[in-house]
Amino acid sequence: MSFFPESNSVERHQFRKIINKKNIIRLFLLGVALLFLLGYLYEETQARNIQGGQDLSRITINQVSYGYEVAGKGKYTVIVDRMAGETYQQREALKAKFSGNARLFFYDRPGYGASTGPEKTPKEIAEDLHFMFRKFGWPMSFILVGEEYGSLVMQEYLHLYPEEVIGAIFIQPMGESLGSGEVHRYADRKSASFFSREMLGTFGIPRLLQNSGLLDFFEEVRFEEPEAKAAYANLWLSKDFLKPVKKELTTMVESQPLPVKPGLLGENPVYLVTSNRNQTMFKQEEYLAYSSDAQVFTVADSVQDVLLERPQDISSLLNDMIKKIVRLENRK
């Protein structure tokens, strides 16, 4: 009989006691727990990084600290209100394309970006904006631009203060169809992946898959630069970002329709920007009744976010509208 010179039966027995099925399971569970902890720390760090970095001015109106920005110079003031899930990217996209005779006013609704405070209805936000502009000392004469949920705020502003509105661009407006089955299905489609993103997102799994290139959760949204796509995806994968989006989609589902008031803008121009699919689905042609000078501009059905994906089109429409407003003023 032969023996290995550096081993003995006692050591072999102790090794077998340590490496057994129960301890292997314990080590496996410990490893999984460590991975989840690392994923959680990764998620928290990334979420903090992407939510910050927005250098906006602030003003407090009726318990809400609003973050806002005024870009450009000109005779006219354009109020821009974005869709549910608004990000700084829509703001930057339009700023980069627009160089007309107007200043652009952007703000974050409560829950987004730099704005903090209680949740408010579109009508309450419209009232806050009105009070805000008076505090600024601005001439109370505005061009309104609102997309999807933002169109509700702009529509409420128009109904409350029609004498202050000299033109309006409604992008994929939803007011006429609030509470309908079509809006309910729209909200369901938009929020379908929220639950899995939130559950798995606690441990950074969707963000890791997106950032590593293994999966693209937002392939339907088009960007010219990969960096812009990455920033957009990381925002939409953050639980804190999804909270106000869910609330606004719920508001659209549970609210009563906000009917158009025909003739409210008289001769002042109104532009409807929509897709062929959405125009009929959400009764958007009704918005043409606001003015005797109303036009429809169509984008492809594949466009999800017009301000983000087609800012050059909105810039062109704004410049065209401003020319019309100047001609109207010269006739008076």
pLDDT of residue 62: 96
The whole-number average pLDDT for the span 236-265 is 93
How is the beta sheet containing 165-171 ordered, strand by strand?
A: 57-61, 64-71, 102-107, 76-81, 142-147, 165-171, 270-275, 294-299
What are the helix (H) ranges across the chain?
A: 9-18, 21-51, 88-97, 122-136, 149-160, 181-191, 194-201, 205-211, 226-236, 239-254, 276-281, 306-309, 311-331
Residue count of the chain: 332
Identify the pLDDT of residue 53.
44
DSSP states of 34-46: HHHHHHHHHHHHH
Domain segments of the chain as ranges: 58-331
Residue 251 above 80 pLDDT? yes
**What is residue 220's predicted lDDT score, i.e. its pLDDT?**
76
CA angle 275, 277, 279 (to 5 degrees): 65
Lowest mean pLDDT among 49-58, 65-74, 203-212, 309-318: 49-58
Q: Which residue has the higher pLDDT, 205 or 172?
A: 172
CATH fit for domain 58-331, picks 3.30.9.10, 3.40.50.10150, 3.40.50.10800, 3.40.50.1820 = 3.40.50.1820
Cα Rg, the chain, nearest whole Å: 26
pLDDT of residue 158: 98
pLDDT digits (tens, 9 = 90+) for 100-127: 899 999 999 999 988 999 999 999 999 9
Q: Out of 32-41, 63-72, 75-84, which region has the weakest mean confidence (pLDDT)?
A: 32-41
The model's pTM: 0.84
Q: What is the pLDDT of residue 258?
A: 95
Nearest to 318 by CA among 104, 110, 133: 104
Task: Tell me how far apart the alpha carbons of residues 235 and 203 are, in angstroms, rounded to a whole number.
Answer: 16
Residue 9, pLDDT above cutoff 60:
no
pLDDT value of residue 3 = 46
Percent of the chain's residues with pLDDT above 70 = 84
User: 19 Cβ partners below 8 Å, 6+ apart?
Assistant: none
Instruction: Encode pLDDT of 43-55 as tens digits.
Output: 556 655 565 446 7
Dihedral of alpha carbons 300, 302, 303, 304, sign: positive
Tokens 């798995």 belong to: 200
Cα–Cα–Cα angle for 79, 80, 82, rounded to 5 degrees: 150
**In terms of pLDDT, which residue wins out, 16 or 282?**
282
- What percent of the chain shows pLDDT beyond 90? 64
Pick the more confident residue, 62 or 35: 62
pLDDT at 230 over 90: no
Instruction: With beta carbons less than 8 A apart as the criterion, state whether 267 and 292 touch.
Output: yes
